[in-house]
Amino acid sequence: RAKQAGRNGVQTFDLAMGSETAAQLALERDLRAALTRGEFLLHYQPVFDVSSGLVTGFEALIRWAHPTQGLISPGTFIPVAEEAALIVPLGTWVLHEACRQATLWQVSRAVTMSVNVSALQFEQPDFVKTVREALRSTGLPPGQLILELTESAVLRDPDAAVAQLRDLRALGIRIALDDFGTGHSSLSLLRRLPIDALKIDRSFVQDAAAEVMVGVAVTLARAFSLHVVAEGIETEGQRALAQALGCDGMQGYLLARPAPADEMPPC
Ligand code: C2E
Ligand code: MG
Ligand code: MG
Ligand code: MG
């Protein structure tokens, strides 16, 4: 795929990527068709409160129900959807669908819904409007929506990101920094970001030096008054560590795997 349209609209191709281009274009075409045919669906993974052990909310995770290949995970198609800008309409669909599901679940008590947002989506000038519209049309109370952004989404233009995060939080929603620790953001940027939570990447939780890595992340979160969630809890040892180090929330296969809405535990 062309990396960028040149000055006079001519697209320049990286020759080394030539063989990838055909496959990628085919995938792009399939993704576009999948979007119009409604082949995407959301799985949900519960988020647990560390001290009470109760489910406090869910994270929406997209899947592609491919007509011949079965369920395809986001790692395969999200990068292509980003490259082709399809992530914008796709992300809007995710936002609406996740908010709609959250309103169904919040009948008995308020649960949060976490939605992953890619950098390109976040950079859309009308992104705040898109979020407001999803809340309005589904009736989800803003306090129950959490947007998960990665460091890369805020790094390209930190000043613009800070301003937009303020606008988003003014809607009453919360912001979590996802995959925390794997990106390149600095301490000074972290200090400036108007966010509510850090999600510690599972590579840290599962690291041989997890005690140090998770400990530092929790210390940072405390210093900046942020809620902190440990991702990728797969063992009792990791759960005990998250608890001992003072994580607020936790997610992982040990506790619950992502699954369709009708398989979620009652909350
Ligand atoms: P993420 O937001 O960091 O989500 C966590 C990923 O870790 C999910 O993979 C989840 O299934 C997996 N996971 C949860 N617990 C465990 C565990 O204990 N062990 C292991 N090994 N993995 C665990 P998934 O669903 O394949 O999603 C991968 C990534 O794709 C997500 O990472 C997120 O960055 C992206 N993604 C998923 N859904 C969306 C979406 O709707 N929009 C956008 N823009 N990105 C999405
Ligand atoms: Mg996430
Ligand atoms: Mg993550
Ligand atoms: Mg991730």
Q: Is the pLDDT of residue 3 over 50?
A: no
CB under 5 Å of ion ligand 3: residues: 178-179
**Which of 43, 44, 61 to mutate to test ligand 1, by most ligand atoms within 8 A of the CB atom?**
61
Lowest mean pLDDT among 118-122, 123-127, 140-144, 180-184: 180-184
Task: State the ipTM, two decimals.
Answer: 0.98
In angstroms, the CA 131 to CA 145 distance is 10
Q: Is the pLDDT of residue 8 over 50?
A: no
Residue 179 near ligand 1, beta carbon < 6 Å:
yes
> Tens of pLDDT along 203-235?
999 999 999 999 999 999 999 999 999 999 999
CB under 5 Å of ion ligand 2: residues: 116, 148, 178
| Whole-structure pTM value | 0.93
> Tens of pLDDT along 77-117?
999 999 999 999 999 999 999 999 999 998 778 899 999 99
With a pLDDT cut of 70, the percent of the chain lying above it is 92
Q: How far is CA 46 from the centre of its chain?
A: 14
37, burial (CB in 10 Å: exposed 0-12, middle 13-18, buried 19+): exposed
In angstroms, the CA 62 to CA 86 distance is 14
Looking at ligand 1, which residue's alpha carbon is closest to its atom 35? 74
List, as one string, the DSSP characters of 180-220.
Answer: ETSS---HHHHHH---SEEEE-HHHHTSTTHHHHHHHHHHH
**Which of 35, 48, 96, 231 to mutate to test ligand 1, by most ligand atoms within 8 A of the CB atom?**
231
Angle between helices 87-105 and 18-37 (to 10 degrees): 40
| Structure confidence at residue 184 as a pLDDT band (50, 70, 90) | confident
Q: Is the pLDDT of residue 134 over 50?
A: yes
Confidence (pLDDT) at 115? 98
